Amino acid sequence: MTEAAALLRARLARALADRERVAAFDHRVWSIRDKRLAAAARHPHWEALRRAAQAIKAHALDHLDSYLEQFAARAEAAGAVVHFAATGAAANRIVLELCRAERASLVAKSKSMTTEECGLNEFLEAGGLEVVDTDLGERIVQLFREAPSHIVAPAIHRSRGEIAALFARCFGPGQEVRADSIGALVEAARRAMRPQFLAAEVGITGANFAVAETGGIVVVENEGNSLLTTSVPSLHIAVVGIEKIVPRLADLGVFLALLARSATGQRITSYTTHYAGPQRREDAERGIRERRLHIVLLDNGRSRVLGERHHRRALACIRCGACLNVCPVYRRSLGHAYGWVYPGPIGSVLAPAMRGAAGSALAQASTLCGACTEACPVGIDLHEQLIARRTESRAARTPLAVRLAAALARRPRLARFLLKRLRRRPALNRRLFRAWLAPAAGVPTRLIPALPRESFAEWWQRRTRRNGR
C-alpha cells in the first residue's frame, strides 16, 4: 500500500469513528441532494439543458487557448489587468505583490475554492496581511482553523451548537450567541464582520464563469458578501481557474440555471454579478473614481488535465457539489478525509493531475456506483473516470493474486486440478481464502468465502448423471 493510500485509509477511519457527526453530516448532505432532485424535476427541459452545457463546455475546452486569448484581450479592453499564473504559488505571489503595492493590511475575501486550492490565505498571512473570509461558511472554517469540508457548504460538518460556541469565543467577551436560531447566528456574524468589510483595502474573489465574448467574470452567491467584498475597496483581485471560460454571454443562461439548481436546489442564486471591467465608485468629495480590477488566470495543473484524453471532460466541472452529495463514500467522510480542497468524486478525478502522487490514492475512495455521473449537471462520466484513474495509478497496479488468478483462468485444466486438491484440504482452503487472498488481491476488508467442497461443474455432472441425462 502506498503512503498516500495509508493516509487516506487512516483519515477515513478517523472520520467513521465519530458516528454521531457522520450521521448528522450525511443527513445534511443528503437533504441538499433532495432539493436538487426536486428543482431538476420542476425544470421542463432539464436533460436538454444538461446536453447543452456538455456541448458548450466540450467546445470551450477544445478551443481553450483561443478563448483565453479572447477573454484576456476583452477584459483588458474593458480596463482590467490580466495575469497568467502557471501554479498556485505564482498566483499567490501576484496577489501578495498587488496587495503590497496597495499598502494593504486588511484583505476581505469571498468564497473561492480556487484560492483555497492555492493556500492563498496562509500565504498572505505569512506575508503580514490579515485576511477575513466573508462568506459565512468560509468564515466559520477560518475561525475553526480548518479546511472547507464541502465545495458549496464549507462548514456543513459543524453543528449549530459548535458554531454558536465558536462565535461566542471569537466575537468578543460577553458575546452571547444563541444556538437555537440561525437568524441569531447570522446576526452575530454580521455584526462582527461588518467593520472588517468597511475597513478592507483589497477585495479578493474567485469567479464561477469567465466570458470570452465580454472579458467579464461572473460571481454567483447567496449572501451578498462577494458584492460587498468588491464594493468598498479600491482594488478587486479575482483568481480564476482557466477552465471557467465560457465562449458567449448567452451561455450563462444554460449554466446559471444548472448551477443554482444543482448546488442548492434554488432556481437562481440571490446575487449574480457580472464584472465587465472595473466598477466605478461615486465619491462625494472626489467625484466618480474607477476601481481597479486584476484577474489572475490560474493553470495549476489544469492544462495537464486538458492533455489527458480520458480526463479533460472533468474540466467542464462547474463546482456545484452534486456529485459529493450523492457519493456514499463522501457522505461518510466528513469531507476532510480526502485530504485536499476538492473532496468527493470530482476531486478524486482531478487529484492525480493536480496533486501528483499525493492524489493518486483518492480514486480508491469510491464504490463506483455511478450516482455521481447520474447527478452531474454537465454530464461528466465521473465513475468511468475513476475507473480510468485506478487503472493509471501505480498504486492500483494489478495485485499479484489477481494476476495469478488471471493466469490460472487461461489454463482451465491446471486450475481444475489445483482447485480440486485444495478442496480436499479444508484448513488450508479456509486459511488461503479468508486470511491471505483478500489482502493479496488488494481488498483487505472483504471476506472472500472459502471454496465449497464441490465445484459447480462437479455438482452439475452429478445432477445430470442422477437424472440419467
Judged by the rule CB under 6 A, the positions of this chain that interact with ligand SF4 are 262, 317-323, 346, 375-378, 380, 382
Nearer to ligand SF4 by Cβ, of 252 and 380: the residue is 380
Kindly give, in sequence order, each residue whose CB lies less than 8 Å from that of residue 448, ignoring residues fewer than 6 positions away: 433, 434, 437, 438, 441
- Cα torsion 366, 26, 122, 358 to 10°: value is -10
149 close to 335: Cβ distance less than 8 angstroms:
yes
DSSP bridge partners of 81: 294
Find the shortest distance in angstroms from Cβ 41 to ligand SF4.
Answer: 17
Distance of CA 449 to the CA centre of its chain: 37
Cell matching residue 229: 467584498
179-191 core/surface letters (b: 16 or more CB in 10 A; e: else): beeeebbeebbee
Which H or E element spans position 74?
A: helix 64-77
Find the shortest distance in angstroms from Cβ 197 to ligand SF4.
Answer: 29
User: Residue 310 half-sphere exposure, CB side, CA atoms within 13 Å?
Assistant: 15
Find the shortest distance in angstroms from Cβ 349 to ligand SF4.
Answer: 8
Find the shortest distance in angstroms from Cβ 50 to ligand SF4.
Answer: 10
Find the shortest distance in angstroms from Cβ 382 to ligand SF4.
Answer: 6
- Sign of the C-alpha dihedral, residues 340, 385, 354, 258? negative
Return d(Cα 33, Cα 12) in angstroms, integer: 22
Nearer to ligand SF4 by Cβ, of 143 and 334: the residue is 334
What does each C-alpha distance from 224 to 135, 154, 171, 197, 229 come to in angstroms?
9, 17, 21, 12, 9
Find the shortest distance in angstroms from Cβ 316 to ligand SF4.
Answer: 7
Nearer to ligand SF4 by Cβ, of 296 and 372: the residue is 372
Find the shortest distance in angstroms from Cβ 254 to ligand SF4.
Answer: 13
Strands lying side by side in the sheet with 209-211: 245-246, 209-211, 216-221, 271-275
Nearer to ligand SF4 by Cβ, of 5 and 380: the residue is 380
Nearer to ligand SF4 by Cβ, of 80 and 113: the residue is 113
Nearer to ligand SF4 by Cβ, of 129 and 376: the residue is 376
Nearer to ligand SF4 by Cβ, of 74 and 383: the residue is 383
Find the shortest distance in angstroms from Cβ 260 to ligand SF4.
Answer: 12
Return d(Cα 180, Cα 7) in angstroms, integer: 37
Nearer to ligand SF4 by Cβ, of 339 and 344: the residue is 344
